[in-house]
Structure 1
């Protein structure tokens, strides 16, 4: 979503600049008016840029699954913004429908990932040794430790391996032969919750729903949106705050 918002922001910022320029030069606005039903022609850079903005915006949104818009309301929003008319919704109110629209498109696009994760977790919680927390986090104790447990404000030293449900590994501190030091309040929610269950010296296997992992955005090219993740984590040390 961030990319979409950035893509949309740049054209609108530029359009505002053009609108200000048009107010200072009304004659230019009249000169570029097209007759109804006539084939559009580009008479100057403003004409070609105006069309390019629309084409580029639609291409970007289409790539994210949007097939069409209410063009009358789109045009009205542009005109109201440029001409200083009262807006039908405030800038703050506009964020929710945009976010809801693209979240809905994203869920539809990655429905397979969502269904796969839900089915896996439903079956996995029936397996011997699997425990489930109220948040939906699932885990197995591979090795019990006898040291202290970290708090959410602590920094810990841990070894780990992360995989997708299909077994593809996306990260491993074991492969790098270098454990990771990290603050528990700055990691995905599944880690923040799960590692507080662990005693130093223990090793757990976590099954993390997408809501407690990287959510609807995913992470880079290796973790798709709405991915349920599997981590093997070994807590080596609690370093405190």
Structure 2
């Protein structure tokens, strides 16, 4: 819980002086954009004054960014500022630190459970509709796939290494990874990836290209991955099998040494 609060209220105060950004086109200012006065009045008597003001600007701007990560970005700014100022001034507040932490934990736990339920529902609905496509085949595990290009030949075993090209998206079309974009295929032991890949790629021969629709249980589960794949996310992968390389005795020995 503390980690969640620290992330939410992260107060980064160091700004790289060399960092430069292109000036954005003029847009209508939102309530959370910081406006700088065109002719600043010197209200600073010394460097500590300047530092104090700069510190507040950095803390406040970082807080505003992190507030956007709250569930639906929702919070009462008036009450937030009232409590914030009271704590800073040493005035009395309505909740103790312990009570505040309890309230936040309850709130965020409920929000996470709601999000999880919505993601599960979205994935189930998508897969149910997708299964109605005559081109879609479904395995006993719930993995769905479409054969885009079929090829003849041996199929890999779970213990083999394979080389593939692939592209991964969420069900809303958001692309989160692509070996095509990097211009470089990848190779890996087939039994060391997500279950949907381990199962699906064993259906393929070299030269074939499949499109997989992977339920969250066969993907990254309840945790998600890397900040780009949400918890409970159903994933879509287009995979092209380039090579099958059976694992050698040397590979097996190396794997045992690593373990």
Report the TM range for the smaller structure's normalisation. 0.5 to 0.7
Q: Taking structure 2 as the reference length, what is the TM-score of the superposition?
A: 0.55
- Aligned to 1:61, which of 105, 108, 126? 105
Per the alignment, residue 160 of structure 1 pairs with 166
1:64 is displaced (CA, Å) by 3.9
Per the alignment, residue 213 of structure 2 pairs with 207
Q: Where in structure 2 are the equivalents of 1:20-99 lying within 5 Å?
A: 54=98, 58=102, 61-62=105-106, 64-65=108-109
Cα separation, partners in 2 of 1:63 and 1:157, compared to 1, 3 Å: farther
Query: Is this contact kept in 2: 1:158–1:233, CA < 8 A?
Result: yes
Per the alignment, residue 233 of structure 2 pairs with 227
Per the alignment, residue 194 of structure 1 pairs with 200
Q: Which runs of 5+ in 1 are unaligned?
A: 5-50, 67-104
Per the alignment, residue 130 of structure 2 pairs with 124
Per the alignment, residue 216 of structure 1 pairs with 222
Query: Is this contact kept in 2: 1:163–1:169, CA < 8 A?
Result: yes
| Structure 1 runs of 4+ with >3 Å offset | 54-64
SS at match of 1:112: helix
Per the alignment, residue 172 of structure 1 pairs with 178
CA RMSD, aligned part only? Answer: 2.2
Question: Is 1:142–2:153 an aligned residue pair?
Answer: no
Cα separation, partners in 2 of 1:58 and 1:128, compared to 1, 3 Å: same
Q: Which runs of 5+ in 2 are unaligned?
A: 5-95, 248-259
Q: Number of matched residues?
A: 155
Higher helix share goes to which structure? Answer: 1
